[in-house]
Amino acid sequence: MKYSKGMFDRSNNRKRKPLAVRRTGAARVGDKTKPKIRLSIGMKDLALPATFLAALGCGWLALSWFQPRDNRISWQACLENQQGVGLYPNLVEIPAGTYEVPENSPTLTPFLLFHDKPNIVLQNSVLLQNKEVDREQLKHYADAIDRLQDFDEKERLRLRLGSHWDHNDVQDSLVRHITWEGAWDYSQWLSRKTGCDYRLPSRDEWAAAAIFLTAQGQAPVNAQVNAPVNAQVNGGMTAEEVAKNVLLGAREWSQSPCPDGYFLLGGDDWTASADDKKEICMPAILAMAGFRLVLNPSSIPGLQVNSTQTGGSLKMDEALSLEKVNK
């Protein structure tokens, strides 16, 4: 038998691979279907998505830590005096109505000298903090800023708050060196923290409070001027004490804008200068005043004109327990 040379030539045999022997997934001639491709996914392929999801989760956690859930609660709960919590301001009601701006009052005229309205009309009752925010209350907010994971946001809020809020020229606990920006940020943070709608008072609201509380403080015992100031809601302070704090506590920021910034109201209790009692327009970035809050009247449905909220009848909702507040 004769054999051709090519039968034993391995290099040629490799070229003659039979048609029946094909690679797995290879398409046949004339077959229009796409070849099946097997994918192999390893740990390296999952590393990038996992890293992205982890970073996203950390960012969300940091944001939720500083911005608590916006749990709106009943407005009555915001009036309850929360002893020992240090977050909820004690509030006094300034009834709705018309308040005449006095022209020759030795007590009020120096503070309302530049007020451009003969009368102030409050469409709704105003629930005003009985004294300015103190350093212990503001420290809750400063600590929340320090816990932020976002460095840029932390520095931005620190700059707006200012670095002198914890310094005091007088031996009391009131905040006296804060920017308007820092005061506004605090009101927004406290609203989210408590579920109560707090903000800075307007120029008219502050003036109405000064007029009303001064009249209350000067009224004879057991006399009523419009409506009594309830000491239980008011944190145990009398109308005379609140009026003195409104007029001569610390100069305080308002939410009313002016050409150069926002109006500063009231006077400092450590100075006898009459010029320091006049309202003045100041830039929002200057850390030179204190502030107080009001419970936004628009958040109080059905609040009656000339009504007095009785603290003893206002019980906190279960959702606003101390445990929840301290989270």
Higher-pLDDT residue of 105 and 305 is 105
With cut-offs at 50, 70 and 90, classify the pLDDT of residue 152.
Answer: very high
Task: Please give the pLDDT value at position 302.
Answer: 46
Higher-pLDDT residue of 116 and 66 is 116
Cα(124)–Cα(147) distance, rounded to whole angstroms? Answer: 38
Higher-pLDDT residue of 173 and 97 is 97
Asked whether the whole model's pTM tops 0.75, one would answer: no
Task: Please give the pLDDT value at position 44.
Answer: 60
List the one residue out of 178, 76, 173 whose CA is nearest residue 127.
Answer: 76
Task: Please give the pLDDT value at position 286.
Answer: 86
Higher-pLDDT residue of 5 and 118 is 118
CB atoms within 10 A of CB 309: 22
How confident is the model over 176-226, as pLDDT tens digits?
889 999 999 999 999 988 888 899 999 999 889 888 888 876 554 433 344
Ramachandran class of 86: left when φ > 0, alpha when ψ lies in -120 to 50, beta otherwise: left
Higher-pLDDT residue of 20 and 183 is 183
Cα(128)–Cα(201) distance, rounded to whole angstroms? Answer: 8
CATH 3.40.50 fits 61-325, yes or no: no
Cα(63)–Cα(60) distance, rounded to whole angstroms? Answer: 5
With cut-offs at 50, 70 and 90, classify the pLDDT of residue 261.
Answer: very high
Task: Please give the pLDDT value at position 298.
Answer: 61
The answer to whether residue 175 scores a pLDDT higher than 60 is yes
Return the minimum-mean-pLDDT range out of 43-47, 87-91, 186-190: 43-47
